[in-house]
C-alpha cells in the first residue's frame, strides 16, 4: 500500500460508521466503536531467519514513520503511548476493544485525536508475536484509551 493509499484508508475510516458487531471488514476488522486497518503486512507469518524478520520490522517502522509524518502535518504532533501497562492490566481488568487487542500485538503507538468528530487515531507496528505476520496497523475509535 502506498502512503497515499494509507492516508485514503485512514480518511475513509475517520468518517465511516462503526460496525454493529465484531468481525472482519474490507480493510481489516472492527466492532462497536472502532475500526482496525492493516496498512501493510509482511509476506507471511514467522520467518525462517531472524535477520529477515528484523529487516521486515524495520521496513514497517519506516513506513509507519512516513504515515506519522503526514498525519502530524494534519493533526499536529502525536502522543507516544506505550501499551505494555495496558497489556498487563488485561489480566486483571476488563480493557475495552480495540485497546485490549492492540496491546496484545503492538508495543507502542502514536496517538492523535481528530477535531471534527473526536475520534482517536492510533498507529503502530504489530510485531510482538514471532509466529505472526508483521503488520502496520491503524485504529480509528471513539473509545478513549485506557
User: Tens digit of pLDDT for each residue in 58-89?
Assistant: 888 999 999 999 999 999 999 999 999 999 99
pTM, whole model, 2 decimals? 0.90
- pLDDT of the residue at 95: 97
Q: Is 2 left (phi over 0), alpha (psi -120 to 50) or beta?
A: beta
Amino acid at each position: 500500500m502506498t502512503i497515499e493509499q494509507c492516508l485514503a484508508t485512514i480518511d475513509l475510516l475517520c468518517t465511516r460508521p462503526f460496525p454493529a458487531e465484531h468481525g472482519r471488514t474490507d480493510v481489516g476488522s472492527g466492532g462497536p466503536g472502532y475500526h482496525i486497518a492493516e496498512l501493510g503486512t509482511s509476506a507471511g507469518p514467522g520467518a525462517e531467519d531472524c535477520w529477515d524478520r528484523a529487516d521486515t520490522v524495520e521496513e514497517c517502522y519506516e513506513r509507519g514513520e512516513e504515515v506519522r509524518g503526514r498525519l502530524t502535518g494534519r493533526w499536529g504532533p502525536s502522543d507516544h503511548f506505550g501499551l505494555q501497562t495496558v497489556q498487563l492490566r488485561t489480566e486483571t481488568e476488563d480493557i475495552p476493544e480495540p485497546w485490549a487487542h492492540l496491546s496484545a500485538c503492538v508495543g507502542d503507538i502514536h496517538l492523535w485525536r481528530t477535531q471534527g468528530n473526536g475520534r482517536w487515531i492510533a498507529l503502530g507496528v504489530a510485531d510482538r508475536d514471532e509466529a505472526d505476520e508483521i503488520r502496520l496497523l491503524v485504529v480509528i475509535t471513539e473509545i478513549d484509551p485506557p
